[in-house]
Amino acid sequence: MLGSILASGTLYLMFDVDEDAYFGTVPVGTTGQSLMMEFITSFMLMFVISGVATDNRSIGELAGIAIGMTILLNVFIAGPVSGGSMNPARSIGPALIMQKYTGLWIYVVGPLLGTIVGGFAYNLIRLTDKPLREITKSGSFLGNIAKK
């Protein structure tokens, strides 16, 4: 939160930012649409992060690509409706600096609930607690490709 506030303050001081050049997120769609978009995109992001970055059975070399592509798709889908924030700090910092609080609660409630449910959903569908090395006899996807 502090980083978002400081970065927003720096932008505000460095550039002549008027109300038309607001660099935060405000809902473009209805309140319900924006809330659901933030929930769904945050859910998907947390689900992917849980699967590729925190699970010791995953293929770690590709985690960054999977997470980055999820963010890209989320922004393409949610951008026109809610701005695709997926992070309360990303919306709160600019809102505090520019004093524009339109729909700010959406960017707090949606991502928090979405990430909580996304983390629980991933844990519910986990089929086995065996590590990847036991399942595939190797823990590296790229290592298996190089051997072939």
Can you tell me the mean pLDDT for 2-7? 94
Quote the number of domains for the chain: 1
pTM of the shown model:
0.80
Domain of residue 29, residue span: 2-147
Closest residue by Cα to residue 41 from 1, 94, 95, 79 = 79
Q: Are 106 and 34 in contact (CB under 8 A)?
A: yes
Q: What is the pLDDT of residues 97-141, one digit of tens each?
A: 999 998 999 999 999 999 999 999 988 887 666 665 565 565 555
CATH of the domain at 11: 1.20.1080.10
> What are the pLDDT digits (tens) for 9-40?
999 999 888 877 888 888 998 999 999 999 99
